[in-house]
Structure 1
Amino acid sequence: MGIRPEHVALGQPAAAGQSMAVVDSEVIVSELTGAETLLYSKLGSQELIARIDSGLDLRAGESVRLAYDMELAHFFDAVSGDRLKLGEKAAISL
């Protein structure tokens, strides 16, 4: 699964009808880029990148809750790397 950093936000409970996924991850590093910060974190063995407001001071090792809309996620075949078509999403396991 892939999701663009601009589609990841600090976690909020999903509103009714939204397809939000919320995960707790550990901050690896935060990189100030001006008005925004690129936040690199890990969830198990996977790295997540979020583009967030630069006013937040998050440090390596801290826990952070991130949220993303599953409607904006892209899914890929684990063997070939090919992007799966919309109708194929239901056949994969996360």
Structure 2
Amino acid sequence: MTSFRPDLPNGTAPVDGAELINQLRGLEDLKSAAAAAQARIAVAFDAVQRSADAAAGVPADERGRGVAAQVALARRESPAKGSRLLGLAKALVTEMPRTLAA
């Protein structure tokens, strides 16, 4: 974690309340950046899998099957939640890019 944010506490130096709040904000920013990256990667993975399915002659209505389950597995979530996460990622990346960037 400190390789991403070297200013995060390592447990040895005392910090004041304002610094602790700043660190919380930094962690929130890090979580937001990671979530945005996860969304973009999930959508890219979906596109890659659908292209591979198309090249393999998979019928259009069956392309991309299993993508949500793979996303769920990678994120250590249930398959049902993986489907919701992929749907949200697609919406954010394709329909709401400004929200994703915020």
Q: TM range, normalised to the smaller chain?
A: under 0.3
Higher percent of residues as helix: 2
| Larger-gyration structure (1/2) | 2
Instruction: Return the TM-score normalized by structure 2.
Output: 0.22
Instruction: Return the TM-score normalized by structure 1.
Output: 0.23
